[in-house]
């Protein structure tokens, strides 16, 4: 009954325990469409993947039936012990938001709730171990830590329900591999108490639900009906260069002034800081910045100020991309192409963050390539064509870490049992017995594990893994899969002064003598790279230089680059035939001035462009000969093929300067004859040869050295704080 004593109509809320039903009816009145679909499925206590748009209330749709199951189980078994529900979320900032949202429900139902992550104090951890709550919110890394804790491990045996939030944010990284294996270890733990836990995944944007189901180990997916309209427009204020920068800032300022609250997404921290500082100069626009490099205290204060309406524009990176419900956002501005369809959908979904509202977004393009790319992404987003997640398979550093974890889980674990357990994790399903054996023996060689081998035909059955003193240290030092970032100082050779610092990953990708880059608004040419310094000379102009923050940039998938190529081809065909090219361009969600800029850019190209069906090879001479291969293959394919070609040419000639973007490969050379060699090698390279070439060439490159160093540190081959000189590192790689 309602407050007036009238009987409410029968809804899915009637499936819930009376206490939960009363709260749900008081808070929501009638169920949403998402709740109608999700509540019965969760109550069935089976594994489930819930895919629902941002702001649809999917979290409560999952948690209401779980609260009900918890109450029902508590009534049936008064001796039931916590932790009953484990909520795993990828970002710490989500923990704060979730705690505020879920604590209300928990308080009303008499449920204890707590948060566990890297910032949790020692006192809080001790209290959680001694008196755990019924519901714990955790990160993937913290799950790894508590799986081997003496007291926490006992509490984890009682987990009946596991929620994995924002699944898409995890599956295509090593964090996801680590989580998948950790979930299998957790399930093994609960089975010792006779419990088969229910796993529920939650996500707003997924390209391939079947793959995600396999990752989670669940059998059902619910993709709820979309109820909100997404309104996305791509605009191009002014032209590229200084004037364009001013025009973009003026356009952004007016857009912010015309909205209640605006989230401005950028792809890098440097761009976020630059935009924020320029908006603050406008004075009448209250602006703050939010990104992962800021302290936790600063981020919390910024979020609270935004929620309270004290901040009108919040300039951020992916740190606010996921499901934090903050402020009264009615506009999202993406500054520069979002690079991926899923990124645009997720970010624009931050606006109109409730059912029935319009998610409004504007993409501000910064140059012609950016404009075409943003238009292609916006059209794909409106059509619901998201990228598929590409999962990492069998990363050996994660495998080694999980083997050590199993040795800590038990005093002694049989080799075949450990092998079969880890193979249940989807990323390790292709692992052979020999792969597993070699990883175990390598850990023993490094002193992280005892491997007790007996005679027998079955090597794994005759093997036992035992922990030793270093096992615990090795495991706990590698809970995070995120690489530590070394920095290089940029030294101006004219003055001898340090002018900036660059991340090691940027140097790994672009640190070649002769390459030009931009930092703090100035172009520089690399003369020499040493162990911790880059000797560089200043250049005039910015054309052809790589932004120093490009190392942070999101890769553009092949599907997006090919859509750009298709767009180019269609426009060119219409121009050549004297047909209406403008009408075709306006079929994309672009403004009139954006369409005019795209048409002008196509006319200027005069055929020198790649399409989805055409490659174009360009030769030229600036300060040195160069070859550009225009290919709409996306970031990864162009980078891979380009590096293979550069390696083959460098083996015959002097070193070749190389860089790639989603639409071209650029080779800088010393002579015109070298340019002919590049073209010859490119035209002659066979698909099957690319891998073989890179296996030989990559160990000599900075990119390989950067990844090698990270993995070597995770294995303990190199100490965490080591800063190895290049010569010693090369020797270690060859060994």
Judged by DSSP in three states, 602 sits in helix
Q: Total domain count for the chain?
A: 4
Band (pLDDT 50/70/90 cuts) for residue 520 is low
The residue range of the domain holding 187 is 12-223
Q: Is residue 569 part of a domain?
A: no
Whether 321 and 197 share a structural domain:
no
Whether 60 and 100 share a structural domain:
yes
**Hey, what are 194's tokens?**
């006779």
Residue range 337-364, pLDDT digits in tens: 999 998 998 899 888 755 557 889 999 9
- pLDDT at residue 651, as a whole number: 83
Whether 212 and 80 share a structural domain:
yes
Whether 95 and 240 share a structural domain:
no
Check residues 202 and 542 and name the one with the higher pLDDT. Answer: 202
Integer Cα distance of 69 and 79 in angstroms: 15
The answer for residues whose C-beta is within 8 angstroms of residue 731's C-beta and 6 or more apart is none
The last residue of one of the domains, among 327, 349, 382, is 382
Calculate what percentage of the chain has a pLDDT beyond 70: 87
Residue range 168-190, pLDDT digits in tens: 888 888 999 999 999 999 999 99
Integer Cα distance of 371 and 361 in angstroms: 15
Residue range 286-296, pLDDT digits in tens: 888 887 666 66
Radius of gyration of the chain from its Cα atoms, rounded to whole angstroms:
28
Q: Is residue 560 part of a domain?
A: no
Q: Is residue 483 part of a domain?
A: no
Strands 516-519 and 546-547: parallel
Whether 18 and 61 share a structural domain:
yes
Whether 355 and 437 share a structural domain:
no
Dihedral, CA of residue 418, residue 424, residue 428 and residue 434, to nearest 10: 40
Helix H, strand E, coil C: the string for 668-687 is: ECCCHHHHHHHHHHHHHCCH
* Residue in 669, 663, 676, 678 with CA at minimum distance from that of residue 630: 663
The answer for residues whose C-beta is within 8 angstroms of residue 353's C-beta and 6 or more apart is 54, 55, 325, 329
Whether 113 and 21 share a structural domain:
yes
Whether 187 and 310 share a structural domain:
no
Whether 437 and 308 share a structural domain:
no
Residue range 467-489, pLDDT digits in tens: 998 999 999 989 888 766 667 88
Whether 233 and 216 share a structural domain:
no
The last residue of one of the domains, among 171, 202, 223, is 223
Whether 86 and 152 share a structural domain:
yes
Whether 313 and 195 share a structural domain:
no
**Hey, what are 557's tokens?**
């998938």
**Hey, what are 182's tokens?**
């950790």
Q: Is residue 481 part of a domain?
A: no
Integer Cα distance of 662 and 629 in angstroms: 11
Q: Which residue has the tokens 């709550």?
A: 133
Dihedral, CA of residue 674, residue 677, residue 679 and residue 684, to nearest 10: -160
**Hey, what are 528's tokens?**
């020499």
Integer Cα distance of 77 and 366 in angstroms: 61
Cα 38–chain centre separation: 26
Helix H, strand E, coil C: the string for 93-136 is: HHHHHHHHHHHHHHHHHCCCEEEECCCCCHHHHHHHHHCCCCEE
- pLDDT at residue 274, as a whole number: 78
Are the CB atoms for 594 and 574 separated by under 8 Å? no
Report the pLDDT averaged over residues 139-147.
93
The last residue of one of the domains, among 465, 481, 510, is 465
Name the pTM for this structure: 0.83
Residue range 63-97, pLDDT digits in tens: 999 999 999 988 887 777 889 999 998 875 555 66
Q: Is residue 210 part of a domain?
A: yes
Residue range 381-418, pLDDT digits in tens: 999 888 888 888 899 999 999 999 999 988 889 999 99
Q: Is residue 591 part of a domain?
A: no
Residue range 258-301, pLDDT digits in tens: 889 999 999 887 788 778 878 887 767 788 888 766 666 777 78
Q: Is residue 4 part of a domain?
A: no
Q: Is the dihedral of CA 611, 612, 615, 619 positive or negative?
A: positive
**At 109, which CATH number?**
3.40.50.300
Q: Is residue 513 part of a domain?
A: no
pLDDT over threshold 60, residue 242: no
Integer Cα distance of 489 and 531 in angstroms: 10
Integer Cα distance of 513 and 387 in angstroms: 36
């Amino acid at each position: 009954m309602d407050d007036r004593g009238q009987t409410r109509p029968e809804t899915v809320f009637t499936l819930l325990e009376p206490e939960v039903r009363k709260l749900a009816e008081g808070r929501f009145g009638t169920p949403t469409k998402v709740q109608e679909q999700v509540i019965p499925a969760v109550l069935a206590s089976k594994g489930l993947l819930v895919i629902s748009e941002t702001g649809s209330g999917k979290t409560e749709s999952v948690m209401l039936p779980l609260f009900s199951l918890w109450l029902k189980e508590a009534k049936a078994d008064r001796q039931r012990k916590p932790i009953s529900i484990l909520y795993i979320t990828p970002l710490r900032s989500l923990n704060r938001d979730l705690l505020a949202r879920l604590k209300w429900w928990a308080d009303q139902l008499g449920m204890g709730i707590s948060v566990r992550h890297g910032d949790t104090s020692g006192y809080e951890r001790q209290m959680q171990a001694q008196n755990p709550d019924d519901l714990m919110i955790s990160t993937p890394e913290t799950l790894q830590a508590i799986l081997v804790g003496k007291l926490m491990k006992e509490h984890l045996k009682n987990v009946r329900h596991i929620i994995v939030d924002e699944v898409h944010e995890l599956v295509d990284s090593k964090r996801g591999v680590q989580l998948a294996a950790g979930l299998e270890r957790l399930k093994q733990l609960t089975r010792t108490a006779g419990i088969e836990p229910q796993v529920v995944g939650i996500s707003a944007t997924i390209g391939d639900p079947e793959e995600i189901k396999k990752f989670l180990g669940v059998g059902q997916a619910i993709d709820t009906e979309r109820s909100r309209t997404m309104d996305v427009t791509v605009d191009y204020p002014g032209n590229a260069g200084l004037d364009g920068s001013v025009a973009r800032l003026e356009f952004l300022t007016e857009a912010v002034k015309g909205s209640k609250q605006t989230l401005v997404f950028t792809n890098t921290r440097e761009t976020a800081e630059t935009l924020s500082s320029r908006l603050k100069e406008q004075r009448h626009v209250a602006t703050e910045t939010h990104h992962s490099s800021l302290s936790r205290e600063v981020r919390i204060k910024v979020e609270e100020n935004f929620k309270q309406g004290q901040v009108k524009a919040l300039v951020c990176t992916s740190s606010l991309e996921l499901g934090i419900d903050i402020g009264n956002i009615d506009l999202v501005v993406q500054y520069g192409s979002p690079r991926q369809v899923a990124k645009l959908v997720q970010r624009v979904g931050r606006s109109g963050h409730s059912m029935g509202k319009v998610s409004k977004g504007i993409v501000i393009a910064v140059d012609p390539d950016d404009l075409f790319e943003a238009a292609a992404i916006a059209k794909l987003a409106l059509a619901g064509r998201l990228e598929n997640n590409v999962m990492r398979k069998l990363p050996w550093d994660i495998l080694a870490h999980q083997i050590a974890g199993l040795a800590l889980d038990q005093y002694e674990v049989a080799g075949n049992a450990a092998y079969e357990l880890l193979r249940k994790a989807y990323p390790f399903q292709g692992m052979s017995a020999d792969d597993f054996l070699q990883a175990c023996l390598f850990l023993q060689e490094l002193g992280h594990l005892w491997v007790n081998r007996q005679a027998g035909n079955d090597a794994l059955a005759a093997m036992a893994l035992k922990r030793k003193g270093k096992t615990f240290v090795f495991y706990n030092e590698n809970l995070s899969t995120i690489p530590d970032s070394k920095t290089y100082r940029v030294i101006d050779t004219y003055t001898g002064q340090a002018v900036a610092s660059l991340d090691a990953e940027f140097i790994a990708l672009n640190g070649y003598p002769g390459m030009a880059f931009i930092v703090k608004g100035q172009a520089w040419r690399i003369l020499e790279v040493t162990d911790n310094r880059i000797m560089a000379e200043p250049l005039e102009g910015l054309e052809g230089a790589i932004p120093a923050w490009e190392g942070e940039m999101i890769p553009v998938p092949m599907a997006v680059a090919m859509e750009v190529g298709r767009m180019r081809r269609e426009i060119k065909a219409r121009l050549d035939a004297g047909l209406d090219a403008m009408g075709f361009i306006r079929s994309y969600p672009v403004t009139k001035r954006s369409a005019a800029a795209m048409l002008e850019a196509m006319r200027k190209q005069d055929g020198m462009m790649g399409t989805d069906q055409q490659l174009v090879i360009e030769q030229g001479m600036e300060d040195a000969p160069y070859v550009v291969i225009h290919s709409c293959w996306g970031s990864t394919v162009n980078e891979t093929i380009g590096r293979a070609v550069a390696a083959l040419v460098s083996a015959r000639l002097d070193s070749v300067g190389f860089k790639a973007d989603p639409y071209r490969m650029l080779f800088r050379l010393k002579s015109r004859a070298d340019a002919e060699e590049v073209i010859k090698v490119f035209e002659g390279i066979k698909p099957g040869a690319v891998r073989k070439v890179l296996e030989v060439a990559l160990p000599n490159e900075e990119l390989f050295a950067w990844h090698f160093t990270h993995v070597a540190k995770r294995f303990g081959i190199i100490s965490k704080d080591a800063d190895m000189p290049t010569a010693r590192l090369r020797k270690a790689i060859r060994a």
